[in-house]
Structure 1
Amino acid sequence: MPPKKKSEQSLGADGATLKELLHSMLLQRRFEEKVGEAYALGKIGGFCHLYIGQEAVSTGIISMLRPDDYVITTYRDHGQALARGMTPRSVMAELFGRIDGCSRGKGGSMHLFDRNVNFLGGHGIVGGHVPIAAGVGFAIKYRGGDQVIVCFMGESVVNTGAFHEALNMAALWKLPCIFVIENNKYGMGTAVERAAAIKDLSRRADAYDGMYAEHVDGQDVMAVRDATARALTYARKEQKPVLLEVRTYRYMGHSMSDAVSGTYRTKAELDEYLKRDPINLLKAKMLDEGIISDDDFAAMEQEIKAVCQDSWDFADASPEPPLESLYEDVLVTTES
């Protein structure tokens, strides 16, 4: 008899969950490719930072959260917004600067926000959102809840004062914060080893007593999920902060303004990391396990491409915000 197929459980999840993970990562990839196309055609203006290559981080972590948990992130936020459940239509319309966008066309690429899914942005200032995450953690504790706040950041954030101040307060006050360093090796064009005196960034937690920390392979979505499960257990039960360093790689430039392989990295390096594309890794395992077929994957891809084109069409048809909206949500007045 031929050998039996390995159990779905060997991948750490049932078939339905694995398909959801693959769908989430593939949606983010195809959506970002569409965003790059729209930017090149002038449909999107301003800064735009693509998430291509890092989909296992957003998918692995956010798939483990409860609906009442919170997510806050930096300017490379499109993939995380989609993983959290924001609609491709609302995200694309925001990128186009249209009224039907999640921030009514006034936030753009770096400031996606949706309180309906507890997605608290999208913040453009490097490290500026980390103290906000500590504030959310304080609010959770003050109210007696058992939610967590997950705070995504790039590796260059760990060298800022706001990072250390926020982690110090989170450790001192025992706040349920999970700080996630998405270490994609480069802060803009500066390699992490040229900017950080310590190479294992997860060890930054050593300075804060009681803070659990670990590093994980960010190209393996199942490894990310496993690390997240441990972090969530600690943050919820102990009501203490966690620092996760997720080692990943971006396949695009820092933003749409620099080349894929610029002066700061070689094509050979990029090609080496492409061998560990997180989508291809999961797809290959699922094919090997017999969880999906090539036809299944092709059908998923066609469905996702249609969704991405629909988001483009929706955004293109959405009106621009009226001029008077410039004065909305700027300040609050009270009647005397």
Structure 2
Amino acid sequence: MNEDFKLRVFTEPQQGATYDDLLRVARTAEAAGYDAFFRSDHYLKMGPISGEPGPTDAWLTLAGLARETTRLRLGTLMSAATFRLPGPLAISAAQVDQMSGGRLEFGLGSGWYEQEHTAYGLPFPALRERFDRYAEQLEIITGLWDTPQGATFDYRGTHYQLADSPALPKPVQRPRPPVLIGGAGKKRTPMLAARFADEFNLPFVDVATAAEQFDRVGRACTELGRDPSEIVRSAALVVCAGKDEAQIARRAAVIGREVDELRANGLTGTPAEVVDTIGAWRRRTGITRLYLQLLDVSDLDQLELVASEVVPQLD
């Protein structure tokens, strides 16, 4: 596989997974040669499932995996700015970077799932305020990490104020861990990406939509005087790969999806089909990272199938 192109594993633990389930996925991914393990940051299940045994905290999970893996990059797609205050979040993320020896990638979003906020007593402001808070959090977290050792950090925004912060602890990666931003918003999202992102991710959209949004991010970079090539392009697609139609159908049934729908919207089919889909995405959008959304975290064989029969065909 081309060394510049990376396949990453992405899980949705709120749908029903324990820490031990995630550890098995991460260890399998590491042994199979995947580049990274990412997880969502949600507190409530989605769809007609039980979600049992209940959610796991994203940052506690990453801290544990930081000590129980050795090579994998670790991160969130995406942590919600509505969940945590920016100062403590910067501390938690810096500590995970330290615990992993500098393997953290920091994904942050505005927050969107109102029901989980209601379920766990979290404020859920209107969209404009959520984005305003999101932008301030990006300024604060990157500002804390970028502050030179021994200096202090001050910030006075509409929603957050910091005074004489020692801006500690520092992450291992300097000046900071890579920042991931994503989403399909046409105005503010591209501008925030141009200001802060090291990687821009588009989850679960079609190729044409992705290409248009990457172009918007590129134009926003140009407006700010930044080279658009500095931002890594990535996508996330649900994976449902199998050696034959019967295996593909069984995997689709387990995650409650139709094969035809998955073929249209995901990374689905035989290894040869998956290779073709990845090739089309790379040609049309220029992505160099692809996150495989593994909805059945017990299906470790699927990860091994992709690693053994898809990855060798990627050039």
TM-score (norm 2): 0.34
Instruction: Point out the structure with the larger helix share.
Output: 1
The structure with the larger Rg is 1
- More strand per residue: 2
Structure 1 length-normalised TM: 0.32
For CA contacts below 8 A with separation 6 or more, give which structure has more relative contact order. 1
